[in-house]
Structure 1
Amino acid sequence: MGFGQANTSILSQLAAAGSVKRVFAHCLDNVNGGGIFAVGEVESPVVKTTPLVPNQVHYNVILKGIDVDGDPVDLPPSIASFGGNGGTIIDSGTTLAYLPANLYNSLLKKITTRQPVKLHMVQETFACFSFTLNTDKAFPVVNLHFEDNLKMSVYPHDYLFSLRKDLYCFGWQSGGLTNQDGSDVILLGDLVLSNKLVVYDLDNEVVGWAEHNCSSSIKVKDGSGAVFSVEANNLIASSSSSSSSLLLHFHISWRRSRGKQTCKEWTTSAYL
């Protein structure tokens, strides 16, 4: 999509032209499908943020802890201490969430202790189980805690997906991802980012999120100061705008299928 941190990215080029600030946001709806992608400063809802680790290619943040309904899960030392290149990556281009093997095993053990199920592997990748009850009521919430007291709550309907009727699988994956120095890496994809407004503010070197109805709307300010209401399907100016303003808005249509979100459609609108 060209929304990385490099100076050659679409976002950096728009910012260099004075069209927008280096801020963009997305909101992915895994309940109804669809969502919002907007470039510009988010006016509402208010989003709390955590610092981005500087001088990184990806959107790296510092994960301070994980708990399952308040019961802490031990983090690998290389994650907890965060070296120069390790830590946690936020990546909306990744579908699931990849954890170091020991963290993956500890997390699933905590979850299945609260709701016992008989796990079996499907496609040699997914830990799955048969279940006929309401998963949101039966399974615990997983909370991720980041620097500056920013919390991300991941609900059962986020981290579980259904392969077929009464067969559910965990979206948490044992990734075994490491850096060149051998330190562990956590990769957080759409599994944890869905049903949240996620804001990337490269000017202030922060990223943040807030739980949000991604089928509703957000308010975004463009480079001229004009504020727009960005809905899941269209764009409406809510204050005066000028011919020099630009707001880039993507309507996202996607679905979850066998553990994968598939992009079905992208449409763009540019106001110049």
Structure 2
Amino acid sequence: MTSISVNSTFVVWLQYFLALIFVSFAAATDFHGVVFDVRSKLTSNERSVISRLKAHDSYRHFYYPLATGVDISVGGSGRPNSLGLYYTKIGIGTPSKEYYVQVDTGSDITWINGIQCQECLKKGYRGMDLTPYDQNASFTGKPVTCHDQICKDINKVNTVHGCTANASCLYHVSYGDGSESSGYMVKDVIQYNSVSGDMETRPENANVSFGCGTIQSGNLNSQDDAFDGILGFGNTNASVISQLASSGKVKKMFAHCLKNGGGIFAIGHVIKPKVNSAHLIPNEIHYTINVTGIAVGAEFLNLSIDSNGTVKRKAIIDSGTTLVYLPKVIYTPLVDKIVSRKSLMGSIVYHDSYTCIEFDGSVDDEFPVVTFHFENSLSSNVYPHDYLFSYGGLKCLGWQMNDMDPSIRDKIVLGDLILSNKLVLYDLENQTIGWAEYNCSSNITLKDDITGGTYLVSAHNLSSAFSLINSRFIRFLVLISVLIIHAI
């Protein structure tokens, strides 16, 4: 019995050693860029269910941080709910398991449902299999304590209140619809696709801290909407992009080009297409820039003075929001100018909080283009076919009055309605954000700032190489174990 125990221990340590070799092998490559193959939850038909669109956005922005255990206050407001727009697949752990996560620039923390979660679903969106994370099943998984820097970053303090020796770092997020996610923080290897050449990727990995959810409630447990978790690309030190950058894995730059059906989400220096950019406003929780003007056709609106006494309006850029939300003093005249044309008189109807028009012609011929102007000559055209949604025989406006959380009610919230079919570049090294109208089914070009090399990237050419390598690695590991056990 003693001999068997020793040999079994030896096998476990050998497996651990081989796992470390695998992780080191996957990591020992130069960085050219990271690409996520993002997909859209919405089809053109699903977008017509307008009664659910505002509910989706309201849930995201009515956010209240709660304290639990060691008084953790979690940043971020995104979650996968009834109309979470874009999701991707990543690998976590050693050996790796695959997880479907919503990609969200409005969320700071990344979290995955944990194996301890009794209420969490086994099946999610469109019947996809959901995979609970098990730290003990990963050779590289380890707990995060309340003394670790990531816990301080989440809590936005230098010392976490009530933190004791070796105590876990807990997180607890509550959303406006009553849904909640809570659990504890862990650190493990996340695997993703790194650009290795034109239209080619290879497996890479990095150690990232994320939440392991043990309790999920409310709409988070709706089978029609559920994913394994969230991949947070928000504007704090706790987000994935900040963690990767602080470890030296990447530059703090990323971009997305989103369209109906999916698109590209890339980390790295995008040099094509060229974009014009504006500076981000410092010390804002979300990615925020100043709006200097809004034109309906050729006629500019009066932005009016906001509660801070300025004629500039702050605008939050959020890929996880569906519509565009405007303060009342902007919303009312904008809608009036759109629907005041003589040909539309008498055809206005209201559905829920939407202004709708009885119209069956060409929307681009009849309705005006709305243009948002920002600092540094950055602008964005929103075309009628983008801001009008079909509902039965009606065309309904995607503009909404901002009646969200009072802390952002004076701000404009720019969601997918204005961000889709554009290459949006977040240059956090220089604290700018910009975009250009672009065909998101085509290629973008990333530059390796170390070698000077450039590489074409397309969402249609992404590799699932890390899955193949991991499956081969697992078979190799099992074979070695069997041979050793047989030998002893």
TM-score (structure 1 length as normaliser): 0.78
SS at match of 2:331: helix
Larger Rg: 2
Match of 1:90 among 317, 325, 331: 317
Matches within 5 A, 1:88-237: 88-114=315-341, 116-117=344-345, 118-122=347-351, 124-164=352-392, 166-177=393-404, 179-180=406-407, 184-222=410-448, 224-225=450-451, 226-235=453-462
Give the letter aligned to residue 138 of structure 1.
E
How many aligned positions are there? Answer: 233
Larger helix proportion, structure 1 or 2?
A: 2
SS at match of 1:200: strand
Shift in Å, 1:149: 1.1
CA distance in 1, matches of 2:430, 2:311: 21
Shift in Å, 1:20: 1.4
CA distance in 1, matches of 2:363, 2:401: 22
CA distance in 1, matches of 2:259, 2:282: 30
CA distance in 2, matches of 1:17, 1:131: 54
User: Sequence identity of aligned pairs in percent?
Assistant: 47
Map of 2:181 onto structure 1: none
Map of 1:22 onto structure 2: 252
Whether the aligned pair in 2 keeps the contact of 1:50 and 1:150 (CA below 8 Å) is yes
Whether the aligned pair in 2 keeps the contact of 1:228 and 1:235 (CA below 8 Å) is no
SS at match of 1:199: strand
Whether the aligned pair in 1 keeps the contact of 2:344 and 2:357 (CA below 8 Å) is no
Map of 1:42 onto structure 2: 270
Match of 1:52 among 262, 270, 280: 280
Higher relative contact order (CA 8 A, sep 6+): 1
Whether the aligned pair in 1 keeps the contact of 2:270 and 2:447 (CA below 8 Å) is yes
Give the letter aligned to residue 87 of structure 1.
K
- C-alpha spacing 1:228/1:108, structure 2 compared with 1 (3 Å): same
Whether the aligned pair in 2 keeps the contact of 1:136 and 1:157 (CA below 8 Å) is yes
Map of 2:192 onto structure 1: none
Aligned-residue RMSD, C-alpha: 2.4
CA distance in 1, matches of 2:466, 2:444: 16
Matches within 5 A, 1:43-82: 43-78=271-306, 81=310
Shift in Å, 1:173: 0.4
**2:238 is the alignment partner of 1:11:** no
Larger strand proportion, structure 1 or 2?
A: 1
* Deviation readout 1:43-62 (Å, 9 max, x if unpaired): 10100001100111101100
Provide structure 2 residue ranges, at least 5 long, that are not aligned to the other structure.
Answer: 1-230, 468-488
Give the letter aligned to residue 54 of structure 1.
P
Shift in Å, 1:27: 1.0
SS at match of 2:373: strand
- C-alpha spacing 1:50/1:179, structure 2 compared with 1 (3 Å): farther
CA distance in 1, matches of 2:258, 2:266: 12
Shift in Å, 1:113: 2.3
TM-score (structure 2 length as normaliser): 0.45
* Deviation readout 1:146-177 (Å, 9 max, x if unpaired): 0111111100111111123x321100001134
CA distance in 1, matches of 2:324, 2:238: 28
